[in-house]
Structure 1
């Protein structure tokens, strides 16, 4: 088996990179520590109190993009498999963290088994 990513993997990676960069941009604009525990669930639950800066239109756009991300992640999982999709998204988040820094919050890694 080749180590070269497939066309499909590259397509999903580009899609998530573009969408996640916009999600990160909106989160930073509203001063939302999006990677802090529970914040994503609160955004999806339409809880705008997570915003450091109140921008209702931007929050609605962020929430819609996050809902789209969740739906697309399910599609990617069906297409690529759970492990490959998780690794891909984790890599994208890590690269965003390198670019943007701690303004995204502190993602908690699950404990090792």
Structure 2
């Protein structure tokens, strides 16, 4: 488990979720963009709730290992989506250019 420290508060979440959130935050900062990301966190009563984070160039976000804080919070779909978004910012790919083959070109 990881404790995310953000805007003076602490949020407990899973290792993979915290790692993916930090990586995406760094990639957004490098691209000078910001996004709101929702992740599952454990509340003080032990239930799992959703927290929203505004991450980007100005984000000051830290994570640290949390020991003995209950079962790991996991969300494989969220982690995969954050990793995909991170890769998209780090290594953008272009879409194929569609050309109308029926168009003629005068090359004189």
TM-score (norm 2): 0.27
Higher relative contact order (CA 8 A, sep 6+): 1
Relative to its length, the structure with more strand (as a share) is 2
* Structure with the larger helix share: 1
